[in-house]
Amino acid sequence: MTPHQVLKHYWNYDSFRPLQEEIIQLVLDGNDTLALLPTGGGKSVCFQVPALCLEGICIVVSPLIALMKDQVQQLRDRGVNATAIYSGMSKREIDITLDNCIYGETKFLYVSPERLKTELFVERARQMKIGLLAIDEAHCISQWGYDFRPPYLQIADFKKEVGISRTIALTATATKAVKEDIVSKLELKDCQIFQKSFARANLSYSVFKLESKQQKLVEILENVKGSSVVYVRSRKRTKEISDFLNRNGITSTFYHAGLGGKERDQRQAAWIENKTRVVVATNAFGMGIDKPDVRTVVHMDLPDTLEAYYQEAGRAGRDEKKAYAVALHHDQDTKELKKRAERSVVSKEELKRTYQALANYYKLAIGSQSFSSFDFHFEQFTKTYNLPSVVTFSALKKLSDEGLIQLSDGFYEQSRVSFILEKPEIYTYQVANPKLDPILKSLMRLYGGELFANYIPIKEREIAALLKTDAKQVRQWLQFLHDQKVIDYQPSSDSQRITFLTPRQDVENLPIDNQQIEWRKNLAIEKAQAVIDYMLTDQCRTNVFQRYFDEEPGEICGICDNDLSKRTHQELTTDRVKDILVVKSRSFSELKTQLSSYSEEQILTQIRILLEDGLVTEQNGIYSLK
């Protein structure tokens, strides 16, 4: 199929968004490509469409399990065979998944960058027919990026070992230094860079410095109707603000990674379906969620980087209709932001102590197998070893940055089952164990023969209803069958997990560079200052973003708080209109674009004066200077 046929067949769209078609064609022509499309710009289509046009599988490197799961589910909902490998899966499940990528009809395989370093994955990837390698969130490869992940640096080696010839890297935000890093570290050959402007014509940015943030939030939500996201920094604050909104007659819920998986899914679904108007959330919310009609995004607390703010604010107005991104702050917020940046660094001794405590906590011997994965309870861990919470949290983040561990936010993983025994062996087992015959028959009746080839998501309640029992009994039967090696049963989980990405190391030999630690601290302080500068600037806010991301600023947006404020204090003169028409004749809509900081009425008034004075002529809607 052609790209347009694929787009129509799987997405039911008639046309591509700006730049998508050019990027897709370049990939199909065999060129390495870097695509920078802001949040909501349709990055995933840029690799999914060409992958469906090409023969073979597309391997997608993604840093977040939640993002992988969202994209896999979206593809499956469209009838595309997609899967993912992530920490917490059993060895057998990984083995079957890789076999299906080699011998089956799997079209997309999502993996973390850490997975590419394992011998097993490299060996099996050599047997796959790989049509395309896609690196999502590619800014993670750069130390200048705001979310550096060292394992991204090994992707170029993986490409060579496996013999991949076609690569696309994608990200929403990248400065010039980050773009150069992506091309260099991924060894992209004759790379074409496509960058959509960071200007959003429909998105109005505003900042309010004030003491009573909550009252201002109510005012904003009363003035701008429609769906909204309110971002705060702490889990506790999500509930506090949500309760406050509900008391003021604004339907709201709260969301953070500490909630149970089913509860998060239910709250997210209610918001997406517009049953709940506002969701108050930490930054754990929003990644991968495709909701076009968000009218406002409000930040009650300052984010750590301008990149993060741009991405989160950009979740408003994806339908191209007018939307608002508002930041609320006071003096204490900027002081706290600076302190957080300075505290973001921990000493080598603190890192060693935290790593040793983790090794003891999970009883890991030196040299133990990599990709060992465990449920992780932060409070219980710090309590067990009497560790300070703030320092330990920063130490865990640093150990993650160094590629030694991976911490995943709690996410809901539905129970999964696969048969270990073959069909004739299952029949023999049923005859020999009549008490377990009903549960085995129920599995096959509900989920079919696919259980012999894949891991299938199941619902214990469905099985219980069929057997007229309760879910607890079903789980006991499934666990017994698992212990008997009849099935492989992976129960549902929504707890946070920690994965040791390398064999457990001797703490005295941890690969940690003090100079690197100091450099990262200084970079964090620089990024925090960029956020503060944005909050305090009197310049066009769209232009601030453009300059930050090394884009040549265009005309002022005319709709941010700063531009609107200036517009009320300035008058348009005939000389200003003449200066524009001296360059070339223009239509009224072109004049409006050039004079976007003025009202339509102001522009029309000056044109009438120029026409009456005989200084300008009009023909077929085009105004020309005599």
Reported confidence tier of residue 522, pLDDT bands at 50, 70, 90: confident
**Cα–Cα distances in angstroms (integers) from residue 44 to residues 60, 175, 257, in the given order:** 10, 21, 24
Reported confidence tier of residue 584, pLDDT bands at 50, 70, 90: confident
> If we measure between CA atoms, which residue out of 106, 135, 130, 126 comes closest to residue 54?
130
- The pairing of strands 405-408 and 57-61 is unpaired
Between 563 and 328, the higher pLDDT residue: 328
Reported confidence tier of residue 242, pLDDT bands at 50, 70, 90: very high
Q: For residue 413, give both structure tokens.
A: 């993983």
Answer yes or no: are the C-beta atoms of 594 and 586 closer than 8 Å.
Answer: yes
Reported confidence tier of residue 117, pLDDT bands at 50, 70, 90: confident
What does the pLDDT look like over 296-340, one tens digit per residue? Answer: 999 999 999 999 999 899 999 988 899 999 999 998 999 999 988
Reported confidence tier of residue 70, pLDDT bands at 50, 70, 90: confident
CB-based burial label for 564 (10 Å; 0-12, 13-18, 19+): middle
Provide the phi-psi class of 586: left if phi over 0, else alpha when psi is between -120 and 50, else beta: beta
Q: For residue 532, give both structure tokens.
A: 């503060």
Please tell me what DSSP assigns to residue 76.
Answer: H
CB-based burial label for 438 (10 Å; 0-12, 13-18, 19+): middle
Contacts of 304 (CB under 8 A, 6+ apart): 146, 337, 340, 341, 524, 527, 528, 531
Determine the Cα–Cα distance for residues 93 and 499; give it in Å rounded to an integer. 17
> If we measure between CA atoms, which residue out of 5, 13, 33, 18 comes closest to residue 132?
33
Mean pLDDT of 582-586: 86
| Residue 285, pLDDT above cutoff 70 | yes
Answer yes or no: are the C-beta atoms of 181 and 175 closer than 8 Å.
Answer: no
Mean pLDDT of 153-163: 93
> If we measure between CA atoms, which residue out of 124, 77, 134, 67 comes closest to residue 100?
124
Reported confidence tier of residue 80, pLDDT bands at 50, 70, 90: very high
What does the pLDDT look like over 387-431, one tens digit per residue? Answer: 988 789 888 888 887 778 887 755 556 788 999 999 999 999 999
Instruction: Report the share of the chain in percent with pLDDT over 70.
Output: 97
With H, G, I as helix, E, B as strand and everything else as coil, classify residue 146: coil
Q: For residue 327, give both structure tokens.
A: 């930041």
**Cα–Cα distances in angstroms (integers) from residue 585 to residues 554, 572, 589, 607, 618, in the given order:** 20, 19, 12, 13, 9
Mean pLDDT of 202-226: 93
**Cα–Cα distances in angstroms (integers) from residue 218 to residues 28, 302, 317, 466, in the given order:** 49, 18, 20, 48
| Residue 471, pLDDT above cutoff 70 | yes
Determine the Cα–Cα distance for residues 626 and 607; give it in Å rounded to an integer. 13
Answer yes or no: are the C-beta atoms of 249 and 275 closer than 8 Å.
Answer: no
Answer yes or no: are the C-beta atoms of 400 and 346 closer than 8 Å.
Answer: no
Instruction: Read off the amino acid at residue 24.
Output: I
> If we measure between CA atoms, which residue out of 110, 120, 187, 114 comes closest to residue 150?
114
Q: Where are the alpha helices (DSSP H) in 370-453?
A: 378-384, 389-401, 423-432, 437-447
Please tell me what DSSP assigns to residue 197.
Answer: -
Question: What is the DSSP code string of 124-140?
Answer: HHHTS-EEEEEESSGGG
> If we measure between CA atoms, which residue out of 177, 98, 168, 186 comes closest to residue 131?
168
Determine the Cα–Cα distance for residues 612 and 623; give it in Å rounded to an integer. 13
Between 497 and 226, the higher pLDDT residue: 226
With H, G, I as helix, E, B as strand and everything else as coil, classify residue 408: strand
Q: Where are the alpha helices (DSSP H) in 248-366?
A: 261-272, 306-313, 331-343, 348-361
Mean pLDDT for the chain? 89
Mean pLDDT of 330-357: 87
Determine the Cα–Cα distance for residues 136 and 37; give it in Å rounded to an integer. 11
Q: What is the C-alpha end-to-end distance of the chain, expressed in Å?
A: 54
Query: What pLDDT, on the 0 to 100 scale, is given for residue 568?
Result: 61
Look-up of token digits 């009838």: 79
Sign of CA dihedral 608, 609, 610, 612: positive
Q: Where are the alpha helices (DSSP H) in 304-453?
A: 306-313, 331-343, 348-361, 378-384, 389-401, 423-432, 437-447
Look-up of token digits 């200007």: 199
Q: For residue 336, give both structure tokens.
A: 């706290």
| Residue 287, pLDDT above cutoff 70 | no
* CA triple 25-21-80, angle to 5 deg: 85
Query: What pLDDT, on the 0 to 100 scale, is given for residue 530?
Result: 95
Query: What pLDDT, on the 0 to 100 scale, is given for residue 599?
Result: 75
Reported confidence tier of residue 225, pLDDT bands at 50, 70, 90: very high
Query: What pLDDT, on the 0 to 100 scale, is given for residue 412?
Result: 59
